[in-house]
Structure 1
Amino acid sequence: MTATTTTTEEGPAIAKELATGKFTDEMLASMRALIGTNLRTAASINNEYATRTAILRFCEGIGDDNPLWTEADYAETTDYGTLIAPPSFIFACLAGIQVGWPGLGGFHCETKIDFHNPIKVGDKIECRCEFQGFDGPIEQSNFGGRRIKDYILQQYTNQDGELIADFICSRMRFERGEMQKRAETREITVPHPWKDEEIEEIEAGILKEAPRGAVPRYWEDVEVGEEIDVITKGPLGLTDFIAFIAGGSAPIPRVAAHSVSLKRYHKHPKWAFRDPKTHSLEPVYSVHYNDYAASLQGAQMAYDVGIQRTSWQIHSLTNWMGDAGWLKQITGQYRSHVYLSDVVRLGGRIDAKEVDDLGNHIVKLTTWAINQRGQNCMPGTAIIVLPAREA
């Protein structure tokens, strides 16, 4: 594909495709020099405060109506005594941030989060981001040629200096031209050709889903090998993706419009491309709602956001554990795209029951996210603290 650009007197050329770059010795050396750097976050913060409206808007964006985070009257009757946010609300404060790698493509490929304290309504959340380095480059991969995997630590704290969560965000970086060459090897039928009766069955199941809520799930009652309740997301539509953005979870930097975005793109031309149909400038992030942008990334059509998928995983776990449980840790690897029209079923299995060094009664789980093609598009793990009768 040959790049075409537009240039104005006020700014540099902006291509009609996503920026393309190559791994070079100079690039790798400059990135090594950045290891340990605290990154600027001002342009990526979405919510400083966990207001009732911010929490509700985020929950609507991930499809989670648990009354513990959406109904103040109910939340006040729980041990928390107030409305709290779902653990995934950290993404609505600062979803993610990127550093360097000019012109290279990127996918969020893996997440690890340790949760330490709840976010209560009214809390002020701050986030520190540190570039921790990278692995590679691996010279060849079936997915996209040469690639590296980088790591950014995001630490969230509240107004009292209490640590809320540690989030290690790993991204795969690749040369977009090489990814496009391999696009045919990943071709599938999209949109998925659903039948009316299949959709009716899917939606009937979704309407039956409910959080465990106030009924404690005791550690003694959980058996190794037991599977947790399944929740379903989909068939995914454009509004599902837009609602996630509107909920405050668009990262690096915030999505903006008109002169605000135009000034940014003329200052940083590789943040954007010019859509050949609308002639408008679109951010690189639009791969998540713009089919043309997604195709330039080597995908077939618009696809979900990594942290969006993790928010669904957290939804499935908090639904199962109930109000008295505590989600201590999760991991997840993002494998294969989740496209518009896809259906994803999220679940998990209890692998172990233990009492940890702090006396917490914990269960360890393997988690999954299975699409309609039978692919596990997010294998992961979780650790949950459950109430115990003996305690």
Structure 2
Amino acid sequence: MADDSGTATAEKKDVRESEEWQKAVEYSITDEDIERQNKLLGYYQPAKTREYIQTATTDNIRNFAHGCGDDNPLFCDPEYARGTRWGSVIAPGMMTGVINSPMKGDPTPDEIRALKKSLFKGVHVFVSGSKWNFYRPVFPGDTIYSYNGDETCEVKQSEFSGRSVITVRKDVKVNQRGEVVAVYRILRVLTERKTAAKKGKYADLKPAEYDDAAIAEIDEVYANEKVRGAEPRLFDDVTVGDSLGKMAKGPLTVTDVICFHAGGYGFVPYAPTVGRLAYKNRMRIPAFYIKNEYGVPDVAQRLHWDPVWAQAIGNPMAYDYGVMRENYLWHYLNDWAGDDGVITYVHDEIRKFNYMGDVQFVTGEVTGKREEGGQNLVDVEVRFINQRDTETVKANATIALPKKKGIAMYPEVPRELAEEAAEMMARHWELSKR
């Protein structure tokens, strides 16, 4: 209940005392779940979800970049971008992962439906890293479709959450011309909420606090960040051991998470929704909704902004989405590579949580350079270190750079993959005519 001013008058309760929370933590990873998951490996199907963004535009590209703290004019300023080799604004590469228009395909076989029904119900999912192969940019007007399936499934014992399952899902991202834009492999860790809540591995971790001097030190990093931009970074001028510079991200706030969602991260089909849409979503996936301390059903993913719920499942405070730091990684790499560079491969490992109040300092160095398949490639390693001097992300990437004569190119799509994607899109267009 609330009084006329809108002030809550009901006494707050410990969310862990609610019936919904008790049910939520009862869900376990079962041998049957693991057996069913293994039977699904290698089965790929069209992604029928409609993400917040289905077609790239000048505006949503800019908004997505801004949602990641990236003001690179290649993404944000059409007039500037017209003067680059691309002739237009292009999307930050990892934005490809959040664009999706429903792809049509043949009905899912009954045996696959049965395997997927309530699989790992109520189990918490962490994104723990990814691998990207990039084959072409996304321009305004490009619609992205995808098909996906799980490649691997591994059972482990986790220090934080006891028994866990690690899966790799492969998403093939295709544009409206049937061209492969990227392949996105997502490393997901599935854990039992009850185990995570009991372990409390990070329970003694204290929120970061900053005085004016500490904020000034972070601001100095921001002030010295460089966007390479229009000045080509040439392969000939790069040396193994070169620094990629230093970037700051944070201190993390709830505002950062809101901006990331507002920029286009939909988290579909589990997206935060409002009013009647939230009601319909709750009817569709009731296990995803757990009452808060006021007795209101709310999404389980609120652990990214609600410290009470985060603590209820074993974390000391709310924390970011792993994909936020993956996009920060792209920002860092692209600032160094410049407009003429092409990021062809990224592999990141999300090693620790990024809690509210944490700041990430991003550094990297060149670890190798080579000529391969007509490409001039530079290999780099990148680390995210927080204010506790803890490594939270480790990554490596490959970037194609131009020589003094010539331009850097994307790699060719493997023939089998190109044919597979073309067939999927041909079937989509065939079904779309009916």
Aligned counterpart in structure 1 of residue 29 of structure 2, from 23, 37, 40: 23
Q: Is the aligned partner of 1:232 residue 2:251? A: no
Give 1:205 deviation, angstroms: 2.4
Contact in 2 for aligned 1:17/1:274 (Cα 8 Å): no
Structure-2 residue corresponding to 1:11: none
- The gaps in structure 2 that reach 5 residues or longer are 1-14, 102-115, 407-434
Give 1:381 deviation, angstroms: 0.4
Q: Is the aligned partner of 1:177 residue 2:177? A: no
Q: Is the aligned partner of 1:219 residue 2:235? A: yes
Q: How does 1:1-391 map to 2 (within 5 A)?
A: 4-5=18-19, 14-15=20-21, 18-38=24-44, 41-43=47-49, 45-94=51-100, 100-136=119-155, 138=156, 140-185=157-202, 187-190=204-207, 192-253=208-269, 254-277=271-294, 279-356=295-372, 358-389=373-404, 391=406
Contact in 1 for aligned 2:221/2:246 (Cα 8 Å): no
Contact in 2 for aligned 1:20/1:104 (Cα 8 Å): no
Q: Aligned equivalents of 2:310 and 2:84: distance in 1? A: 44
Q: Aligned equivalents of 1:179 and 1:119: distance in 2? A: 39
RMSD: 2.1
Give 1:94 deviation, angstroms: 4.8
Q: Aligned equivalents of 2:125 and 2:148: distance in 1? A: 18
TM-score normalised by structure 1 residue count: 0.91
Contact in 1 for aligned 2:51/2:266 (Cα 8 Å): no
1:328–1:143 CA distance, 2 compared to 1 (3 A): same
Calculate percent identity across the aligned residue pairs: 28
4+ residue stretches of structure 1 with deviation over 6 A?
none
Q: Secondary structure at the match of 1:225?
A: coil
Structure (1 or 2) with the larger CA radius of gyration: 2
Give 1:36 deviation, angstroms: 2.9
1:42–1:259 CA distance, 2 compared to 1 (3 A): farther
Number of residue pairs the alignment of both structures matches: 376
2:119 partner amino acid? G
Q: Aligned equivalents of 1:42 and 1:62: distance in 2? A: 26
Q: Aligned equivalents of 1:238 and 1:44: distance in 2? A: 26
Q: Aligned equivalents of 2:71 and 2:259: distance in 1? A: 14
TM-score normalised by structure 2 residue count: 0.82
Q: Secondary structure at the match of 2:316?
A: coil
2:214 partner amino acid? E
1:185–1:66 CA distance, 2 compared to 1 (3 A): closer
Structure-2 residue corresponding to 1:10: none
Give 1:125 deviation, angstroms: 1.0
2:196 partner amino acid? M
